[in-house]
Structure 1
Amino acid sequence: MAKLLRMPEVAAGATTVVLSEWPLADNATFAIDDALAVIETDKAVVDVEAEYPGVLLKTLVPAGSEVEVGAPIALLGDEGEKVADIDTLLAELGVSDVAHAATPAPAPAAAAPATAQPKPATATAPRGRIFASPLARRLAADAGLDLSGIEGTGPNGRVTKRDVLAAASRAVDAAPRTTAAAAGAGYTDEPHSKLRRAIAQRLTESKQTQPHFYIHGTARVDALLEARAQLNQISPTKISVNDMLIKALAKAHQLVPQMNAIWTPDAIRRFDGVDISVAIASDRGLLTPVLRNVDKLSISEIASATKDFVVRAQEGKIKQAELEGGSTTISNLGMYGVPEFSAIINPPQSSILAVGAAAEEPVAVDGRLEVATVLRVVLSVDHRPVDGAHAAEWMKHFTDVLENPLRMFA
């Protein structure tokens, strides 16, 4: 029996959501877990997945519309179902006009004409249902490419990331070349995505409303690296240095519970468990999914969870609920060789730990020089819920745990 697909509430308190893409055409069949629609929130791009196999009888709002939560967006049917008069069926379901529930989403800033944008690949006859990975769909949308014009080389003709990148390269090669403008070098304006606008807004809000102060810390991590090597001999999942740092961060929050709090308009909210956001750079921008109850997780469980986040961030599969909560974030740029940096707090959290690269340095020990592996970190703290003395105490415990890694398991 045909039924309506309504816009889900993917973010708590949200009243409207942008429907950015219809992966399927009208009358296309779908299987369980296939993406029926792609929607954008302030934090992520989310697939609306099918809960049962069926057919997409009709889409009710155009892609790019801002739709009220709960409003009908499509008519779905069971497998093999055909409807002779869809308009009559919609009327029977109480849908006479959905225009009031969908308005065009705010347009991105217009691109400067200095450089031509990539053109869609050469159009081909509609292929019906198009099989493509979520990442391939995202890349195609970002490049302005039509998936129906891209030849898929994956299983059963599935369009893959490689196919989209190859098509984008061909489109760029075919596009007219531009020369430097009279006043200087040529340039290309990349319109802001909804996610990039949200990141900019949140970080600007953070610096304007959260009084930041910074605590620097240094630790010898030779013992930590040795402990990691030993753990990896028995762990079912390979443990990274960042996994060890996440565990140490949670331990420091347990030792200094004043840090495990956030500022709200009416109170300082203190948490019982330690939830930590992990900053992940994806193709669509920075995401910070939250590891829940890290204080209760084993180091192997932390490693498995973070690896899952990284994979799903690249595929656009991080769920909205996974981006909410937590009192702190860890941001690690050590893999890029950055020795030290400071980061902006992700509101409404109260802190963020910036981790640099571990490097061998000379250190003084009892009046003599030794070579040790040294790690530098910077803790950015919201001064409203956290006093400087508590942040300093936290850093003392954190660096102590790094230098004595067995303490993180005590």
Structure 2
Amino acid sequence: MTQALDLDEGQRTELKGMRRTAARRMVTAWEAPVFHLTVEVDMTEASRAKVVVPGATVTDVLVRATAHALTVVPAVNVHVDGEAVISFPRAHVGIAVATEKGLTVPIIHNADQLDLEEIAQRRRDIVGRARSGGLGRDDITGGTFTISNLGMLGVTRFDAIVNAPQAAILAVGATIRRNVWTDDGGGWRPIAELTLTSDHRALDGAVAAEFLAALKTKLEAPL
């Protein structure tokens, strides 16, 4: 006869503040009909960020390229409220940041109007204040698109949950050296997989694919 396993009751911790708000938003986002598209990007140029602009990172290049792609394919730079799609003339790009109090998404506003150095400065400021608890309301509102980068933690590919009411979010995987064949022959290249999660109420596959193509082109272009 098998003896019943005596388990501890466990400790209950109520969700509060940022974590409680995030939990509610995730439930809302999970109800949206979404689809995922993935593209492989040669990150050779993106990895030169700190050479071109001291203090810049790959994340800054991603923000700049994303803002550019949002201007090329403005149909992605929208909010969805269930009954309508709201378009925005400027690209306000959020960066998902893990903090002791939970995940937060500070915004780089008007990212499409900033150069790489300006983006790097703003990214250092808002990420630093996010981790120290110094963000204001304006720092976390008004985002039109979000980037979630887990590549630095060794994750090669993942699907991110849309940050409602935004219509799409970009998941960035780790950069891994792969032997890639090109028109000039084969060679080892730093390749990252970027996955776009899209709300099908606002976007279809062709638009999402067009956005990823614009993003890939910008990331692979000389800095």
Verify same fold: TM over 0.5.
Answer: yes
Amino acid at match of 1:222: T
Contact 2:92–2:144 (CA under 8 A) maintained in structure 1 = yes
Q: Does 1:194 find its partner at 2:17?
A: yes
Say which of 44, 48, 52 aligns to 1:231: 52
> Whose RCO is larger (CA < 8 A, sep 6+)?
2
Residue 33 of structure 2: aligned partner: 211
TM-aligned CA deviation for residue 186 of structure 1 = 6.8
- In structure 2, the gaps of 5 or more residues are none
The letter for the 2-side match of 1:188 is: Q
Q: Give the drift of 1:367.
A: 8.6
Shift of 1:190: 2.8
Question: Amino acid of the residue matched to residue 282 of structure 1?
Answer: T
Match of 1:302, SS state, is helix
1:399 aligns with 2:216: yes
> How far off its partner does 1:184 sit?
3.1
Quick one: percent identity of the two aligned structures? 33
- The residue type paired with residue 191 of structure 1 is E
Shift of 1:249: 0.3
CA deviations on 1:339-394 (whole Å, 9 max, x unpaired) are 11110011111111000111111112249531110011100011111222111011
TM (normalized to structure 2)? 0.92
1:304 and 2:121 matched: yes
Of residues 97, 106, 120 in structure 2, which corresponds to 1:280?
97
DSSP 3-state at the match of 1:295: helix
Residue 307 of structure 1, CA deviation:
1.2
Among candidates 50, 68, 75, match of residue 251 of structure 1:
68
How far does the alpha carbon of each residue in 1:110-160 deviate from its partner, in whole angstroms, 9 at most, with x for none? xxxxxxxxxxxxxxxxxxxxxxxxxxxxxxxxxxxxxxxxxxxxxxxxxxx
Question: How far apart, CA to CA, are the structure 2 residues paired with 1:356 and 1:211?
Answer: 23
How far apart are 1:315 and its partner, in Å?
2.0
**Are 1:346 and 2:163 matched, yes or no?**
yes
Deviations 1:76-123 (CA, angstroms, capped at 9, x unpaired): xxxxxxxxxxxxxxxxxxxxxxxxxxxxxxxxxxxxxxxxxxxxxxxx
The 4+ residue runs of structure 1 with deviation greater than 4 A are: none
Q: Kindly tell me: are residues 183 and 327 of structure 1, through their superposed partners in 2, closer, same or farther at Cα, counting changes over 3 Å?
A: same
Q: 1:221 aligns with which of 35, 43, 53?
A: 43
**Separation in structure 2 between the aligned mates of residue 191 and residue 261 of structure 1, nearest angstrom:** 33
Q: In structure 2, the residue corresponding to 1:354 is in which secondary structure?
A: strand
Q: Which runs of 5+ in 1 are unaligned?
A: 1-180
Matches of 2:121 and 2:166, distance apart in 1: 24
> Does 1:388 find its partner at 2:205?
yes
Letter in 1 for 2:37: I
SS at the partner of 1:222?
A: coil
Q: Distance in 2 between matches of 1:229 and 1:391?
A: 30
Structure-1 separation of matches of 2:39 and 2:68: 16
Q: 1:183 to 1:332 in 2, by over 3 A?
A: same
Look up the equivalent residue of 1:192 and give its one-letter code: L
Instruction: Tell me how many residue pairs correspond in the alignment.
Output: 220
2:138 alignment partner AA: A
What are the superposed Cα offsets for residues 219-266 of structure 1, whole Å, 9 maximum, x if unpaired?
11112223x14313xx4xx00100100000001111111111122344
The whole-number CA distance in structure 2 between the counterparts of 1:198 and 1:405 is 40
The residue type equivalent to 2:137 in the other structure is Q
> Does 2:173 match 1:356?
yes
Cα offset, 1:211, TM superposition: 1.2
Give me the whole-angstrom Cα distance separating, in 2, the residues matched to 1:288 and 1:224. Answer: 22
RMSD: 1.9
After superposition, give the CA deviation of every residue in 1:29-69 in whole Å (9 maximum; x if it has no partner): xxxxxxxxxxxxxxxxxxxxxxxxxxxxxxxxxxxxxxxxx
TM-score (norm 1): 0.51
